[in-house]
Amino acid sequence: MEKIKSGIFGLNPLLDGGINKNSTTVVIGPTGAGKTTFATQFLRKGLEQKDPGVYISLDENREQIIKEAEEMGWSNIHKYLDERLLLFIDASGKKFTQFIREDLPDFIQKWEGANSRIVIDPLTPVMWAIKDKYEQRELLSFLLKETRRIGTVVCTLEEHGSESNLSSQELMIPMYLADSVIHLRYSFLEDTEKRTLKVIKCRSSRHSKFLHNYKIIRGLGLMIQHAPLDIKGTKTIPKKLIKEIEKSSKLRPREYKEIIKNLDELIDDDFNGLDYKEVVHNILQELDD
């Protein structure tokens, strides 16, 4: 199975090297877990490698998504839009059955074989709009099959309720149809945030069976963590990270210029709970093509 890098720092080792090429991955989680950040990181990695990106929004409009991406540190997103490497399809507010059955196939025909990265964010409105389970399954199967014809797909899916056991009926059909399922959990208690990630399944590939903690860091996005970090100071960690990246002979300037810019805006508190050596390893591994 050919792998592509996910763009998520520390995730590739959990998937035996990365996301399966031309597969469908569903990322499930509650509000605040980082699903859209995950999706934009996935697109961003592909664009850095000159792979076209397609963002299909079934909820928020184009301007809001771009604004949120810029707030997370993706300052050069407009460059990819201007170069037409990144395309937005705003399907929010539309009749989803009509969009999927009638509008989408024409687009797929034009882009077939483009080796793109495709994000569908989120699938939830489709599930809510269609009550019949058989129709849900048929429509989602068609959507995922069609989009896979033009590349590798990541979909997000809202999880509601507090049990986090993935037993909700609205989750079962997308989980069954997807090649891979990644579950993001998020909880907030007495000023303490906790985020964990678990790979539920990954067809035709080995994958981690464990829960993994992660943080969301502005400019970097999701960063998988394993052990605590003891380094203290105002900007000690960002400066050390920049030095590690700059001295890596494997990287070319275009690959680390943007991430160095983002690191320079961070402080040590942004890395609280992360292992320094693992952060360095994850960044270099993701940047190294």
Domains and CATH numbers, the chain: 3-225 (3.40.50.300), 227-289 (no CATH)
| pLDDT > 90? residue 39 | yes
> Residues 52-90: pLDDT tens digits?
999 999 988 889 999 989 988 888 999 999 999 999 998
pTM of the model: 0.83
The mean pLDDT value of the chain amounts to 88
Q: What is the structure's pLDDT at 200? A: 96
**Per-residue pLDDT reduced to its tens digit, 159-214:** 976 556 787 878 999 999 999 999 999 988 777 788 999 999 999 998 988 899 99
Do 205 and 15 meet the contact criterion of CB atoms below 8 Å apart?
Answer: yes
Average pLDDT on 246-254 reads: 71
**Is the pLDDT reported for residue 14 higher than 60?**
yes
CB-count burial class (<10 Å; 0-12, 13-18, 19+) for 113 = exposed
* Integer Cα distance of 180 and 79 in angstroms: 31
Assign 231 a pLDDT band (cuts: 50, 70, 90).
very low
Q: Strand pairing of 3-4 and 19-20?
A: antiparallel
* Strand order from edge to edge, sheet including 151-158: 86-90, 53-57, 116-121, 151-158, 24-29, 180-189, 192-202, 212-217, 221-225
Rounded distance between C-alpha atoms, residue 93 and residue 58, angstroms: 7
Token pair for residue 196? 């964990």
Residue 230 scores a pLDDT above 70: no
Q: What is the pLDDT of residues 80-135, one digit of tens each?
A: 999 999 999 988 877 888 889 889 999 999 998 889 999 999 998 888 888 888 99
